A and B are shown apart, each in its own frame.
Chain A
């Protein structure tokens, strides 16, 4: 049986994992390579890392960090943040990423999804979508939720799939960083409208939140703070899910 994936997410600046609510009060949580190694050894099913400050200078160090991480882990690695064109995607894959996630660039230029999946295969192209409720509608937002686009969430998710996305990384900006649980309503809408894997992201604070995320039919559950703060070990989450009858890799 296919297992539900537990995916720690590293928000990275250069080579440091950071945590900041809405990009304010950024706090260093640790060294990215060390943390990646720790998660790989302690039972993570996959690892996600995002360059949250993809400026020209920071980028070089970030790519070196991707290379170092790819060398020390042997689980799949998804890398995103600041991916703007095919060149960025190729660079990250060459650095050792197994999958690359595209967010704003895909919204601005949907053809990028098709070009990237034709060149590298759908299996390594993840479309990251940030969703937010606006005037009773679920919309796609960019720039960390500060800019609401005209795209309707479900339409965009379906379009991403038909353009060749292999997976959707779905973050709700209504629940992200608040630790009150995933946006289950939004996730269910997405999973029931696409046929590709969906990773749930944004809002995990308790063990039960992981279980509720599983019930949305998301096949991957992503979390950051609860792992970085050592509130839960990955094994703790998996044992809990297993006791609720969720298939996990123990």
Chain B
């Protein structure tokens, strides 16, 4: 049987160690292969791509540009291929990011990434918070509803279509914590830091999608 190939993009935006290890543990003894993407790649040679990220939107976009990852990634996403974006890896699916400077995103899911509106909030939104599912999904099943995941971010997805929001979280306001369009998923929290529920989510993504 041909092994499915999972690509993990190293966008030099934070450490990929935890997610790398989580994926390796999941695919051990299963028909999958993990490849780290550090530069231009052939979009048709991957079955799934995961892009973790920390830090700023503009930084990740410019890193991906420098690494020549933007073009093949766009082609990959335009084919509605399977993708999981984590934190900033989710945010860059939007049209525009407003962190530091206004930056064009991948434009896959309409909307903008802007700061939390409430000025009295403690920022970053750091710690464990609950996700509330709008719909049940093949990967993000009911079992994740009302569970806590680890967040650390100051910017959120805004002006997004309701139908693209799979789960939301409350922090001073409602904001999208999981977005989905076709086979493209994005999570605002860090599943790789979210103990067993987080690992289950990554496992579901890899094995069920």
Contacts and interface: CB of A to CB of B under 8 A. Distances in A.
Given A3-B129, A121-B54, A196-B123, A74 B153 contact: no
A124 B59 CA distance: 15
Interface string B116-159: 00000111111111100000000000000000101011000000
Contacts of A5: 127-128
A100 to B, nearest CB: 11
Nearest to B17: A96
B124 A196 contact: yes
B118 to A, nearest CB: 11
B104 interface: no
A120 B54 CA distance: 8
B80 interface: no
Contact of B127 (A3, A74, A122): A3
A70 interface: yes
A205 interface: no
B54 A124 contact: yes
A98 B153 CA distance: 13
Q: Is the interface of A mostly helix, strand, loop or mixed?
A: loop
Nearest to A122: B124
Interface residues of B, number: 34
Q: Is the interface of B mostly helix, strand, loop or mixed?
A: mixed
Contacts of A96: 15, 17-18
Interface string A105-122: 000000000000000111
Interface in B1-56: 13-15, 17-18, 21-22, 54-56
Interface of A: 1-5, 40, 45-46, 70-71, 74-76, 93-94, 96, 98, 120-124, 166-167, 195-197, 219-220, 249
Interface of B: 13-15, 17-18, 21-22, 54-56, 59, 121-130, 148, 150, 152-153, 170-171, 190, 192-195, 198-199
